[in-house]
């Protein structure tokens, strides 16, 4: 038989230990895997490769199309990008699947409630695009990018996951009540696509209420689809319901490539101590086997893990504490010894092949588009009235008119009586009548010269578009 090629990235910290445990169990099933060793993360950063992912690893993944990866270290607050995020984005693994299921032998405050859900998280857009700028020395900006195509891909994936796992409902969790354009795009896409899946109940929920409900009544959820940062947060929350990150596997799914990894980090202080729970990594390997349509082998390992947890003879420190715990290798040996056993009341779910959606189409093309003006963002250590007066002077002789000035989203000029604690970052909304994009562009250079002549320092500009007579920008708090 031809072996299935899989790129194997041991990772950093505890990664090599939990990956070795997973590989041992997969090999023991008899599924023929050709493991292609590769590296990413800390060892690569130390070589001076800023992405944390060398070209040899990129080439290996491009050949095998499937990756089993240990956790990678990421510099916090400085320096290089996350190698984890780099891998997801390089290979357009647009969907992050994080299942959460009550486990036998792992007591939690939610034991007996039947928690069994999966978070389907958009994986490459949102704030995780990582586009940040210092707008002023004291104000940073991160762009939240949400695309129509990205929304459609993740929504369709959520419904396909529900069908593949025999689930009957999907919740779409957003903050569309506040971010009506970005988060609202996911909500609108979900509501448009849901009727194509009449066999699945579709519901929208505000993300903060979703977090509340996950703690109050988690058993009501089966599939939750959400944006990138929201999904990162609520999937970690969800894992705590069933025992913690030691039991949290994940899959990064794209149209052509899939990367499987535990949700937890590299935990360097425990590296080499043979004390870490490998369950999250093992169950990630189970997800990989199902992706490869090796359903019998996946069920064999999953049932053996459940049986080992249920009998309670070989449990790790995160379940029973240090005094009674066994190590990573001993736990793995116990799982291997339980091959062929099934736990009572916790059988592996029946799965069918996942149909990863392919969403065609190019850019969204409106029937009509217009431009009503500009938002000019400026830096100034002045009062709102002083900024407003300077902008009034700056637009003199142009076709622009100052409508308002806001500070951190709240309108402060013309004065409203609001007691806003202003910083040195101001949005100045300039309207032009009639709305003419060519005229706006022609006036721009003169406008910016006159802004600078007033002593204001501009840092960026946003157009105020209209698409099909709908406003393509939001209003400030207090703006009419």
The tens digit of pLDDT for each residue in 322-350 reads 888 999 999 999 999 999 999 998 877 78
**Same domain, yes or no, for 413 and 341?**
no
The closest alpha carbon to 427, from 448, 408, 444, 440, belongs to 408
Let me know if 12 is a catalytic residue.
no
Task: Write down the catalytic residue from 153, 232, 291, 318.
Answer: 232
Whole-angstrom distance, CA of residue 60 vs CA of residue 90: 13
Let me know if 375 is a catalytic residue.
no
| CA distances in angstroms from 63 to 5, 52, 57, 59, 60, listed in the order given | 8, 19, 10, 6, 5
Percentage of the chain beyond pLDDT 90 is 82
- Which of 203, 225, 240 is where one domain is finished? 240
**Same domain, yes or no, for 103 and 139?**
no
Q: Which two tokens stand for residue 218?
A: 């988690």
Q: Return the SS3 of 465.
A: strand
What is the band of 424 on the pLDDT scale with cuts at 50, 70, 90?
very high
**Same domain, yes or no, for 307 and 320?**
yes
Task: Write down the catalytic residue from 153, 175, 390, 403.
Answer: 175
What is the band of 435 on the pLDDT scale with cuts at 50, 70, 90?
low
Whole-angstrom distance, CA of residue 169 vs CA of residue 246: 27
- The predicted model gives 146-166 an average pLDDT of 97
Percentage of the chain beyond pLDDT 70 is 98
Predicted model pTM: 0.93
pLDDT tens for each residue of 85-99: 889 889 999 999 999
CATH code for position 142: 3.40.718.10
Whole-angstrom distance, CA of residue 174 vs CA of residue 180: 10
Look up the domain containing 229 and give its range.
116-240
pLDDT tens for each residue of 210-250: 999 999 999 999 999 999 999 999 999 999 999 999 999 99
What is the band of 77 on the pLDDT scale with cuts at 50, 70, 90?
low
Phi, psi of 282, deg, nearest 5: -60, -45
- The predicted model gives 423-440 an average pLDDT of 86
CB–CB of 98/263 below 8 Å?
Answer: yes
pLDDT tens for each residue of 163-201: 999 999 999 999 999 999 999 999 999 999 999 999 999
Beta strands in 75-179 (DSSP E): 95-101, 116-122, 132-136, 139-142, 169-174
**Residue 464 CB neighbours (<10 A):** 20
Q: Which two tokens stand for residue 241?
A: 């319901």
Query: 323, exposed or middle or buried, with CB in 10 Å at 0-12, 13-18, 19+?
Result: exposed
| CA distances in angstroms from 453 to 13, 137, 439, 446, listed in the order given | 55, 21, 22, 11
CB–CB of 307/340 below 8 Å?
Answer: no
- DSSP for 172-216 reads EEE-TTT-TTHHHHHHHHHHHHGGG-TTSEEEEEEHHHHHHHHHH
pLDDT tens for each residue of 96-122: 999 999 999 999 999 999 999 999 999
Contacts of 109 (CB under 8 A, 6+ apart): none
User: Mean pLDDT in the chain?
Assistant: 94
CB–CB of 203/171 below 8 Å?
Answer: yes
**Same domain, yes or no, for 380 and 322?**
no
Q: Would you state the pLDDT for residue 79?
A: 46
CATH code for position 379: 3.30.70.1570
- Which of 317, 350, 383 is where one domain is finished? 350
Q: How many domains does one find in the chain?
A: 3
Whole-angstrom distance, CA of residue 446 vs CA of residue 44: 48
CB–CB of 204/83 below 8 Å?
Answer: no
Q: Would you state the pLDDT for residue 350?
A: 85
Is 210 part of a structural domain of the chain? yes
Q: Would you state the pLDDT for residue 53?
A: 92
**Same domain, yes or no, for 92 and 145?**
no
**Same domain, yes or no, for 221 and 131?**
yes
Contacts of 305 (CB under 8 A, 6+ apart): 279, 282, 283, 286, 335
Q: What size, in residues, is the chain?
A: 480
Task: Write down the catalytic residue from 208, 375, 424, 436.
Answer: 208
Q: Would you state the pLDDT for residue 75?
A: 64
Instruction: State how far Cα 449 lies from the chain centre.
Output: 41
Q: Would you state the pLDDT for residue 78?
A: 46
Let me know if 175 is a catalytic residue.
yes
The residue behind tokens 């142009």 is 398
**Same domain, yes or no, for 50 and 198?**
no
- Which of 240, 256, 277 is where one domain is finished? 240
Would you say residue 259 has pLDDT above 60?
yes
**Same domain, yes or no, for 247 and 341?**
yes
Helix (H) or strand (E) holding 151: helix 148-164
Angle, CA of 327, 317 and 247, to the nearest 5°: 95
CB–CB of 185/146 below 8 Å?
Answer: yes
Task: Write down the catalytic residue from 128, 144, 153, 403.
Answer: 128
**Same domain, yes or no, for 1 and 103?**
yes
**Same domain, yes or no, for 419 and 331?**
no
**Same domain, yes or no, for 236 and 125?**
yes
Whole-angstrom distance, CA of residue 104 vs CA of residue 219: 16
Strand 223-226 versus strand 169-174 pairing type? parallel
pLDDT tens for each residue of 19-38: 999 999 999 999 999 999 99
| CA distances in angstroms from 354 to 235, 255, 261, 289, listed in the order given | 21, 11, 18, 12
pLDDT tens for each residue of 449-465: 999 999 999 999 999 99
Q: Would you state the pLDDT for residue 295?
A: 96
Let me know if 89 is a catalytic residue.
no
Bridge partner list, 450: none
**Same domain, yes or no, for 374 and 442?**
yes
CB–CB of 281/18 below 8 Å?
Answer: yes
- The predicted model gives 63-84 an average pLDDT of 81
């Amino acid at each position: 038989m031809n072996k299935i090629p899989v790129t194997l990235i041991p990772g950093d910290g505890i990664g090599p230990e939990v990956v070795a445990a997973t590989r041992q169990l997969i090999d023991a099933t008899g599924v023929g895997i050709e493991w292609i060793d590769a590296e990413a993360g800390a060892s690569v950063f130390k070589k001076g490769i800023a992405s944390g992912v060398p070209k040899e690893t990129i080439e290996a993944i491009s050949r095998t199309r499937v990756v089993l990866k240990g956790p990678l270290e990421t510099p916090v607050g400085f320096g290089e990008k996350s190698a984890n995020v780099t891998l997801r984005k390089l290979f357009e693994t647009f969907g992050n699947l994080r299942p959460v299921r009550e486990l036998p032998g792992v007591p939690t405050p939610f034991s007996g409630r039947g928690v069994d859900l999966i978070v389907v998280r958009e994986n490459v857009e949102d704030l995780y695009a990582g586009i940040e700028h210092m707008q002023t020395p004291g104000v940073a900006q991160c762009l939240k990018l949400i695309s129509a195509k990205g929304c459609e891909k993740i929504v369709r994936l959520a419904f396909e996951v529900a069908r593949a796992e025999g689930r009957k409902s999907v919740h779409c969790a957003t903050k569309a009540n506040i971010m009506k354009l970005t988060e609202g795009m996911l909500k609108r896409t979900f509501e448009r696509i849901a009727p194509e899946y009449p066999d699945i109940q579709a519901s929208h929920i505000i993300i903060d209420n979703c977090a509340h409900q996950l703690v109050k009544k988690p058993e009501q959820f089966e599939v939750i689809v959400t944006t990138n940062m929201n999904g990162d947060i609520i999937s970690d929350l969800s894992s705590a319901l069933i025992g913690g990150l030691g039991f949290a596997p994940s899959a990064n799914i794209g149209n052509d490539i899939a990367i499987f990894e535990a949700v937890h980090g590299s935990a360097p202080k425990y590296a080499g101590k043979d004390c870490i729970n490998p369950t999250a990594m093992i169950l990630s390997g189970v997800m990989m086997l199902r992706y490869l349509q090796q359903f019998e082998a996946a069920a064999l390992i999953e049932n053996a893990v459940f049986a080992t947890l249920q009998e309670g003879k070989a449990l790790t420190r995160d379940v029973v504490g240090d005094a009674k715990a066994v190590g990573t290798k001993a736990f793995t040996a116990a799982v291997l010894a339980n091959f062929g056993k099934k736990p009572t009341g916790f059988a592996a779910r029946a799965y069918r092949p996942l149909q990863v959606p392919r969403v065609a189409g190019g850019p969204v093309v409106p029937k009509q588009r217009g431009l009503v003006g500009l938002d000019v963002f400026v830096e100034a250590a002045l009062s709102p009235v002083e900024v407003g007066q300077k902008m009034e002077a700056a637009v003199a002789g142009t076709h622009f008119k100052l409508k308002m000035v806001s500070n951190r989203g709240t309108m402060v000029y013309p004065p409203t009586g609001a007691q806003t604690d202003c910083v040195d970052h101001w949005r100045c909304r300039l309207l032009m009548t009639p709305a003419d994009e060519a005229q706006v562009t022609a006036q721009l250079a003169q406008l910016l010269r006159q802004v600078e002549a007033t002593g204001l320092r501009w840092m960026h500009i946003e157009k105020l578009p209209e698409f099909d007579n709908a406003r393509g920008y939001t209003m400030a708090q207090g703006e009419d």
